[in-house]
């Protein structure tokens, strides 16, 4: 018999829909960047996951695409928003613990105006009952 766990991809999607900085910069979330995407954008990728006796641990890749220094600023603001314990996301459930496995860092990207800041998060959840 399997358990139903909170959808970590959906939780991260919702957590990027609200402005992340004091400048109220709206970011468009994507699971897969489309050909017509516009910055600032964030790509969310479920990398791996493992289930234990009662808990599940997922690793989420989060890549912010934006002009200039905004990519790094958005990635840092997202890290502050999600890291910690007992984060409840409406309609999704409880994320018990969110830890940054890699802090936001610059990633080479072939553009003269777009920068990418990437991080990996480890998300621990328990089954929904």
Asked whether residue 8 carries a pLDDT value surpassing 90, the answer given is yes
Residue 3 inside a domain? The answer is no
DSSP letters, 48-112, are: EEEE-SS-EEEEEEEEEEEETTHHHHHHHHHHHHH-EEEEEETTTEEEEEEEEEEEEEEE--S-S
Residue 66 inside a domain? The answer is yes
Residue 73 inside a domain? The answer is yes
Residue 1 inside a domain? The answer is no
Rounded (10°) angle between helices 70-82 and 8-17: 120
State the residue range of the domain holding 89: 8-125
- Residues forming a β-bridge with 75: none
Asked whether residue 1 carries a pLDDT value surpassing 70, the answer given is no
Residue 53 inside a domain? The answer is yes
What is the rounded average pLDDT for all residues in the chain?
A: 92
Residue 120 inside a domain? The answer is yes
Could you tell me the pTM of the whole model?
A: 0.92
Residue 2 inside a domain? The answer is no
Residue 14 inside a domain? The answer is yes
Residue 120 CA to residue 99 CA, distance in Å, equals 9
Residue 44 CA to residue 64 CA, distance in Å, equals 9
21, 9 contact by CB (below 8 A): no
Total of domains in the chain: 1
pLDDT at 23: 65
Of the chain, the percentage scoring pLDDT greater than 70 comes to 97
Report pLDDT digits (tens) over 116-129. 999 999 999 999 87
Q: What is the CATH number of the domain that holds 19?
A: 3.30.2000.30
């Amino acid at each position: 018999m399997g358990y139903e766990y909170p959808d970590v991809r959906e939780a991260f999607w919702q957590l990027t829909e609200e402005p992340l900085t004091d400048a109220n910069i709206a970011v468009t979330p994507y699971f897969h960047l489309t050909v017509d995407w516009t910055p600032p954008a964030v790509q969310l990728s479920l990398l791996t996951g493992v289930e234990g006796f009662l808990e599940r641990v997922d690793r989420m890749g989060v890549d912010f695409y934006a002009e200039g220094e905004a990519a790094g600023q958005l990635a840092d603001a997202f890290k502050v928003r999600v890291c910690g314990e007992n984060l409840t996301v409406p309609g999704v459930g409880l994320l018990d613990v969110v830890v940054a496995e890699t802090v936001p860092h610059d990633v080479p990207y072939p553009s003269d105006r777009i920068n990418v800041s990437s991080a990996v998060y480890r998300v621990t959840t328990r089954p929904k009952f």
